[in-house]
Chain A
Amino acid sequence: SCSLSITVHVFSKLIMEEASPPLRCFSESHSSELFSDDGVQTVTSREQVNSNKMIKWMILPYFFRPTLLREQHYHYLKKGLRHLSDAYECLDASRPWLCYWILHSLELLEEPVPAAVASDVCQFLARCQSPTGGFSGGPCQHAHLAPTYAAVNALCILGTEEAYKVINREKLLDFLYSVKQPDGSFVMHVGGEVDVRSAYCAASVASLTNIITPTLFDGTHNWILSCQNWEGGLGGVPGLEAHGGYTFCGTAALVILGKEHMLDLKTLLRWVTSRQMRFEGGFQGRCNKLVDGCYSFWQAGLLPLLHRALFKEGDSTLSVSSWMFERKALQEYILLCCQNPGGGLLDKPGKSRDFYHTCYCLSGLSIAQHFGNKDLHNELILGRDENRLAPTHPVYNICPEKVAQAIEHFHRLPVPVQTESTPSTMDQS
């Protein structure tokens, strides 16, 4: 590894004139950020040391400006929107997710969706809508909050009258009541499991489609708050380890409910900023675990939420130019380590591409590139200007214009009245 360091050093010095702002990963001090195992080897440390080695090999060729492989990603996404290989049989109960992951990736790349395709997506998602309300993973499957979230987001990205009209708001409200629990939490589907994802999915779709009734989220914020633990982050259910995906879901749900100030924001901020990896530049999902490109969104996406929460509390010491994470380092990790040369993005070098990682790596790249909003905007684009993605809304993870447009459309409609009585206990079967 000594000769590797020298090679990296020599190459970077030779070619650096070409690159304008030098990359953090080629700086003199970068190698001091390698993981120190204190001479005590454990499973965790061996995995982390290997991860560092992989990253080191990956960054070697990148002397020149890192490039987002737009063309390649576009073709990967365009094809996937129509056809998927049998490797996707394992996602046969998540097809609205595939629609959302792909459509959101396309909107970040600012690639338009042809009207015919958009209409086909609407008709497919209509087939995924359950007669009892909500959306399922595929035609004739049971409704589930995760594909419901994905379907509503996908339809809002399309943003046409046809798309909005797909959603049966009255039945959607019935579905949400049918999965609501007495303690404020939600099960993911009738007869299914509880965790904080469900609260986010419910809050997201209910707020976008304007179906929030006075009682729908009774107790929900208190249940979510009980998921914050000794680490400062949130676990899937009370008692569990703090985890990026669940922390994002809980925090974003609380923002929607207007209760984010009830979190211990200081310990949450410390936890999430500590999840950025000093060597890799990307984020890990939990303390002492490995970096993964998808956490570029789940973790980094928390910083805009926390920034706004602290601002609302009257914090005058917040930065006016940046989210509280190393934006360049994250962009470097995504562009240098998470792109498949044939299109699509991934977890870390050595892993396969997939549409989930494509969506969340690109979403994280967008978060890192854009600070603020219309009036107080600041862009930090690593590499070529062409790497610039569209901004994304940190609560819903669709473009802000699509959020505004959907909210405007659905707020012209009255909040439906709950039509069916709800079972008060979970359906045991």
Chain B
Amino acid sequence: TSNKTRYLSHSSLFLDRKEWADLEPVPQDDGPNPVVKIAYSEKFTDVFDMFRALLQNDEKSERAFALTTEAIDLNAANYTVWHYRRVLLQALDKDLREEMKYITAIIEDQPKNYQVWHHRRMVVEWLNDPSEELQFVAEILSQDAKNYHAWQHRQWVMQEYKLWDGELEYVEELLEEDVRNNSAWNQRHFVINHTSGYSDSSILDREVQYTLKQIKKAPHNESAWNYLNGILQDGGLSSFPGLLEQVTELQDTCSSPYLTAFLVDLYEDALETNSSSYDQQEMFNKALELCKFLAEEKDTIRREYWNYVSRSLQNTYGSGDPVSASSDPPPPPSSSQLPDMEPSDP
């Protein structure tokens, strides 16, 4: 109910401001019987009614830019507003250094929002200047070392601008602070993958020794065990010299379900590669024994999984009759049986 001849000096509503008097606010059209109708505050309605008016007129002005700031403040997830703000940044040739300061503050305030990080990325691209990025992301990570958007931005900056120096050191600092930070372990893999790679045996050795050292510090840290497994996948767990011995040695002091699972993986790899370094029958028997131990005692939450692994091993490497999960064979698949998950053929 705006009366254009009445300019309230105390109202902060846009519809009451004389600089906006020429613009007719556009109310949201939710239809006659709205659903999921949000009880917007008066301020919210005011700002977005004006925003819709600007959008409708495709207005490109300073006041439009100022309005986007208000709209973002009310709902930073409104991607339409962010898009419009970017159009204005370019059309009005706005100072992008100022925009960097702005987006820095917004991200600090709402670091788990998609739009704010994407906006920052766009401004960095326009400026072609990544020089603040690694420090900025490190600052956000110092508050939440696992923020997924932050890591995504960091990886994008590093790849786009080839900023690999010092990152392994940064990862090690994070792992010193929290050896269980899985995001840091992932970043370790990311850096090495994109720089030296893992095919060099001196690199692989270094990584295996580093990881075993972290495992000894905290044997129940799943991340370290997963990393050990992950880096040895290509070469094969059973092919790495002395690994079985090193891990078996850990059993007395560092036993955990993860150690046991690692041994299963190692034995399975020995079977898969038909390695002559190991007694195949012994590998088979030990693998089954550990699967049973995990299923029945040490990792019962994954009972179904370990029983499956056991059956699979028996099926592939066993010498007896084919193994299945029940005495009756499963019925043969027919089109009516399984939910149709694929589009039909043209």
Measured CB to CB, the residues of A under 8 A from B are 29, 33, 35-38, 40, 42-45, 80-86, 88-95, 98-99, 102, 116-117, 120-121, 123-124, 127, 136-142, 144, 188-193, 195, 207, 210, 212, 229-231, 235-237, 239-243, 255-256, 258, 267, 269-270, 273-274, 276-278, 281, 286-289, 308, 311, 315-326, 329, 373-376, 393-395, 400, 403-404, 407, 411, 415, 428-429
Contacts and interface: CB of A to CB of B under 8 A. Distances in A.
A265 B193 CA distance: 22
B118 A273 contact: no
B292 interface: no
B78 interface: yes
Contact of A84 (B36, B44, B145, B304): B36
B220 A102 contact: no
A93 B159 CA distance: 31
Interface in B1-55: 26, 28-31, 33-41, 44, 48, 52, 55
Interface stretch (B99-107, B127-135, B179-187): B179-187
B301 interface: yes
B241 interface: no
Interface stretch (B62-70, B222-230, B279-287): B222-230
6 contacts: A83-B37, A121-B35, A123-B31, A240-B148, A308-B338, A373-B338
B166 interface: no
B28 A140 contact: yes
Contacts of A88: 38
Given A40-B218, A44-B181, A210-B343, A375 B77 contact: no
Nearest to A88: B38
Cβ-closest 7 pairs across A and B: A230-B230, A44-B180, A42-B178, A317-B311, A241-B186, A98-B36, A273-B305
A interface: dominant SS: loop
Nearest to A235: B186
A93 B79 contact: yes
Contacts of A188: 79, 114
Contacts of A429: 83, 86-87, 90
Contacts of A289: 146, 182
Nearest to B198: A230
A386 to B, nearest CB: 25
A311 B305 CA distance: 15
Contacts of B220: 35-38
Interface residues of B, number: 99
Given A193-B118, A258-B342, A288-B180, A86 B39 contact: yes
Which of B193, B256, B324, B341 gathers most chain A CB within 10 Å?
B341
Interface string B207-235: 00000000001111111001100110100
A293 B258 CA distance: 24
B148 A255 contact: no
Contacts of B338: 308, 311, 373
B340 interface: yes
B54 to A, nearest CB: 11
Given A193-B118, A229-B230, A230-B189, 8 more contacts: A42-B179, A92-B77, A92-B78, A207-B342, A318-B308, A320-B325, A329-B301, A375-B334
Contacts of A241: 148, 151, 182-183, 186
Contacts of A102: 36
Contacts of B302: 273-274, 276, 325-326
A139 to B, nearest CB: 5
Nearest to B179: A42
B40 A89 contact: yes
Contacts of A120: 31, 33-35
A395 B341 contact: yes
B57 interface: no
B79 A192 contact: yes
Interface of B: 26, 28-31, 33-41, 44, 48, 52, 55, 74-80, 83, 86-87, 90, 114, 117-118, 121-122, 145-146, 148, 151-152, 155, 159, 177-183, 186, 189-190, 193, 217-223, 226-227, 230-231, 233, 256, 299-305, 307-308, 311-312, 314-315, 322-326, 328-331, 333-334, 336-344, 346
A326 B303 contact: yes
A34 B145 CA distance: 24
B38 A274 contact: no
A44 B301 contact: no
A356 to B, nearest CB: 13
Nearest to B29: A139
Contacts of A142: 79-80, 83
A398 to B, nearest CB: 12
A137 B314 CA distance: 52
A89 B41 contact: yes
A228 B77 CA distance: 28
Contacts of A38: 217-221
A240 B152 contact: yes
Contacts of A274: 222, 226, 302
Nearest to B303: A326
A321 B33 CA distance: 46
B176 to A, nearest CB: 10
Nearest to B110: A90
Which of B74, B146, B323 gathers most chain A CB within 10 Å?
B146
Which of A36, A38, A270, A289 gathers most chain B CB within 10 Å?
A38
Contacts of B325: 317-321
Contacts of B34: 82, 120, 124
